[in-house]
Chains A and B, each alone.
Chain A
């Protein structure tokens, strides 16, 4: 391809400069152990008078009790709807009067609490956050209001082609494992949830044995220790057991879900690779070339840039706690989506058979290493990165060594992992829409 040749000519000078990129972001992480025994990773950043705090509780919505799908999601939505002596409205007024921001997010592997608050009212903000985590009221009136908001979302999901594709794919891939059903639950399961279920959901998730903490901002280690004990010291030691590994059941083929819309949405996927696998970075670089590399990826080049079949196509590694997959997504007009699917299948097979070129490998490595420091662009993002590192069991000096692992990937590594990982026969497409020329089929 001409553009790569030209890029090399013009880019030679600049690629040489890449070696001068900061080997790591200027982030000094220290581990803080509170008097009460809670560990946090801290980056002191005194230049702006606020701090960002990230808490993550492993397990998240996958800890839903049998028959109670959606309970933990609903419980999460209620954390900001009244706590301690404050009802929902009083809680909201207090939060606004502190100009603090508390975010509660739920996923299949973790419940996250993301808070930012000013130094000038830190103690009050921590107390309000503590109440929401440890003393949520789950008032019936709030339960009904938030339940209706969740149901509104579920009804919208049922009419959203991308959500239909997601639900269909996950059910096929993970079966009865919690990953196999939407963590927001179903209309039926959410409708049946009670206040007692909220208390159970709360007890399942919030415990010290699954807690990870990251802090960035205007606070010293000596101040942080007591803060952690005030905020989290009263949590129980343990909660619900974590689910076991998911058995990835999806086989190659195509599943068409009829839906009346002008543009089909497809989610495609197959088995992936665990994040602690020695070949993970080789797979990461491979996927950069295949479908994660923005305009430059093979999928974007072939499906969008050459053929105009879509606005966007991408592939992504999803190394979750209990299953690892390689997935992708594309949307294309009903009359053209079959061609998009065909092109993607061809690219999958080509990469599996041939790997990538040296030029592609070099460009991908340069991007993956160069983009890494750009992620450390604010207190809250750095706090999130540190919590993610802890959940993966990475060492505290990982940031300094991460790019070396990327640089160490060789062309042979990528070729080998491409052959091992990419499974053109095992790639399954779930297509939602009225696609011309596509029918459901399953490979043997």
Chain B
């Protein structure tokens, strides 16, 4: 059921603060124009002239996984502080000006990027650019801002994570999955480190990463690419690049050689379940075939009502209220492939896990249903048509992919790479990724001694 799937999807997927990533969907390439400014800032324009609306976004190749050790959460903290004063704008004036022009603005932070956006009438694009370019290099917040906003992000952590046992469980799963990589640290930060974040931490991150040669401008809607280029050169093109921009190097994972298991207990758990994550490769520039096979594997195995796990565990054996498989390949470094089973009442987590493993084993025996694969490929082709009705989601997809180093060519090749995946490719991917040595198995349940549902 979609409602339940939506509710549970967050537990297995890599999360993003503020805004969920769009589902993969492709558009015709003729909507998209891209170029680069002299200072290295990349620009993508996605045109749709049906309504006089524009979305203006700036993406920085700097996310929580780029933070210095010991200051987890600073990427997101800085995101909040960018809504404070600059040398020319007063505290809060940025958003007030957007609102006074009938627009809306916000921002979001993930492991690999931080992005800022406004949606506004198309003739306000220049004003948005002027203000966004201003805060790229000219923020000027106070110690009082830092103290108050630190309280806000702690309340945000309270709301998103500490009030939600599923989020706390997911945090523990991630921490166990990554032995050495920063994807194991939550985007919002560990509380004890968030409490120590100060002005120097925020400015240090800002002065390292917030430069045009580390940013991508993505403009979508009722715009002309030549006008966008002229405006971008006027407002962003004049900002000097950072010649000392550090190369993006994270501490890499060693070979994972031991399965990890954990049990997270919380009295607020209403529905126990089993989640498993496996370390998995991501989309790489010029080399997206493994990620494409994993994307289709997630669909075939656990992507919907006709997927293998759902057919077996929900319809045939009736052991699951919900089951699913998830993969998100648009990351800079190794990501995860996740499977989950929510057992029917009366079935223990031990038995649920055994049923899930038996089903994974039988999938490796049975292989891919050819008709199911064709349905999925047809849906992917159709999604290119539907996506033309939503250029803002197309724009977000370009921003996210380019933030992790993929090129416009990679992004435009992706639909064809997906269509070229064969059943054999999917089974090869399954045998590669379903490696228990590189996995974490987690049980979310109520405290011992309490009766579970």
A joins B in a complex: yes
B270 touches A92 (CB 8 A): no
Asked if B344 is at the interface (CB within 8 A of a chain A CB), the reply is yes
8 Å CB contacts to A: which residues of B185-200? none
Rounded to whole angstroms, the CA-CA distance of A47 and B50 in the bound complex is: 9
Q: Does A223 contact B (CB under 8 A)?
A: no
Give how many B residues have a beta carbon under 8 Å from the other chain's beta carbons: 75
For the complex, give the distance between the alpha carbons of A301 and B306 in Å: 48
B169 to chain A, nearest CB (A): 14
Residues of B within 8 A of A333 (CB): 154-155, 158
In contact, B1 and A77 (Cβ under 8 angstroms): yes
Complex Cα–Cα for A309 and B149 (A): 10
Encoded as 1 (CB less than 8 Å from any B CB) or 0, chain A from 358 to 371 comes to 00000100110111
Report the separation of the CA atoms of residues A92 and B311 in the bound assembly, to the nearest whole angstrom: 11
Complex Cα–Cα for A6 and B131 (A): 14
| In the complex, per-residue mask of B138-160: 1 if CB is within 8 Å of any chain A CB, else 0 | 00000000011111111110110
> Does B416 sit within 8 A of A, measured CB to CB?
no
A152 touching B342, Cβ below 8 Å:
yes
Contacts of A49 in B (CB 8 A): 385
Residue A311 CB within 8 A of the other chain? yes
Assuming the contacts A159-B269, A295-B95, asked whether A262 and B1 have C-beta atoms less than 8 A apart, the reply is: no
When chains A and B are docked, how far (Å) is the Cα of A200 from the Cα of B4? Answer: 25
- What is the bound-complex CA distance between A373 and B381, given in angstroms? 30
| A2, A263, A377: the one within 8 Å of B158 (CB) | A263
CA distance A75 to B154 in the complex (A): 41
* A145 / chain B contacts, CB cutoff of 8 Å: 314-315, 318, 321
Q: B119, B315, B318 — which one has the most chain A CB atoms within 10 A of its CB?
A: B315
Interface flag for B436 (CB, 8 Å): no
Q: How far is the CB of A6 from chain B (nearest CB, A)?
A: 4
Residue of B nearest to A433 (CB): B163
A residues near B101, Cβ cutoff 8 Å: 14-15, 17-18, 366, 370
Interface residue B91 (Cβ < 8 Å from any Cβ of A) = yes
**How far does the alpha carbon of A186 sit from the alpha carbon of B4 in the complex, in Å?**
17
| A residues 324-372 in Cβ contact with B at 8 Å | 331-333, 363, 366-367, 369-372
Contacting pair B148 A307 (CB below 8 A): yes
Q: Is B207 an interface residue (CB 8 A)?
A: no
**Residues B270 and A156 in contact, CB atoms below 8 Å apart:** yes
Cβ B95 vs Cβ A374 within 8 A:
no
Cβ-defined contact, A331 with B159, below 8 A: yes
B126 smallest CB distance to A (angstroms): 10
Cβ contact within 8 Å between B102 and A371: yes
**Complex CA–CA separation, A376 to B162 (angstroms):** 37
Q: Out of A96, A261, A310, which one reaches B152, CB within 8 Å?
A: A310
User: Does B95 contact A96, Cβ atoms closer than 8 Å?
Assistant: no
Residues of A contacting B163 in the complex (Cβ-Cβ under 8 angstroms):
161, 261-263, 265, 331
Is B378 part of the contact surface with A, judged by Cβ < 8 Å? yes
Residues of A contacting B40 with CB < 8 Å?
A: none
Q: How far is the CA of A26 from the CA of B121 in the complex (A)?
A: 13
- Asked whether B261 is an interface residue with its Cβ less than 8 Å from the other chain, the reply is no
State A371–B1 Cα separation when bound (angstroms): 33
Kindly list chain B residues whose C-beta atoms are within 8 Å of the C-beta of A371: 102-104
Question: Dominant SS at the A interface?
Answer: helix
- Contact between chains at A260 and B268 (CB < 8 Å): yes
Cross-chain contact B345 with A148 (CB below 8 angstroms): yes
**Cross-chain contact of B121 among A155, A265, A374 (Cβ < 8 A):** A374
Contact with A along B102-130 (1 / 0, CB 8 A): 11100000000000000111011001000
Q: Let me know if B392 is at the binding interface, CB within 8 A.
A: yes
Question: Chain B contacts of A287 at CB under 8 A?
Answer: none
Q: Which of A10, A366, A370, A377 meets B93, CB within 8 Å? A: A10
For A, the interface residue count at a CB cutoff of 8 angstroms equals: 82
**Chain B CB within 8 A of A89 CB:** yes
Q: State how many angstroms separate the Cβ of A95 from the closest Cβ of chain B.
A: 8
Q: Which residue of A has the minimal Cβ distance to B127?
A: A14
A12 to chain B, nearest CB (A): 10
Report yes or no: A97 in contact with B375, Cβ–Cβ below 8 A. yes
- Which residues on the A side are within 8 Å of B258 (C-beta)? none
Q: Say which residue of A47, A156, A331 sits within 8 Å of B7 (CB atoms).
A: A156
A18-41 vs B, CB cutoff 8 Å, 1 = contact: the mask equals 101110011000000000000000
Interface contact B388-A7, CB-CB below 8 Å:
no
Give the docked Cα–Cα distance between A240 and B378 (Å): 41
Contact A262 B120 (CB under 8 A): no
B35 at the interface (CB under 8 A from A): no
- Cα-based distance from A310 to B1 in the complex (angstroms): 33
- A6 engages B93 (CB within 8 Å): yes
* CB <8 Å contact, A294 and B95: yes
Please report the C-alpha to C-alpha distance between residue A99 and residue B381 in the assembled complex, in whole angstroms. Answer: 9
Which of A15, A92, A155, A373 contacts B453 (CB under 8 A)? A155
Partner of A99, one of B97, B155, B378: B378
B52 in complex: contacting residue of A11, A22, A45, A366, CB < 8 Å? A22
A436 to B129, CA, bound (A): 45
Bound: A22/B4 CA distance, A: 40
Query: Does any Cβ of A come within 8 Å of B69's Cβ?
Result: no
Is B99 interfacial (CB-CB < 8 Å)? yes
Is residue A293 contacting chain B, with contact meaning CB distance below 8 A? yes
- Docked Cα-Cα span, A103 to B57, in Å, equals 30
Q: Top 3 nearest A-B pairs by Cβ distance?
A: A370-B102, A308-B151, A99-B382
21 contacting pairs across A/B (C-beta < 8 A): A3-B93, A14-B97, A14-B124, A14-B127, A20-B123, A92-B306, A96-B304, A145-B314, A145-B315, A148-B321, A161-B163, A262-B162, A263-B162, A293-B99, A294-B95, A295-B83, A296-B95, A331-B159, A367-B102, A370-B102, A378-B389
Given A6-B89, A260-B268, 12 extra CB contacts under 8 A: A21-B121, A21-B123, A48-B389, A93-B306, A148-B344, A331-B163, A363-B100, A371-B103, A374-B119, A374-B121, A377-B53, A380-B389
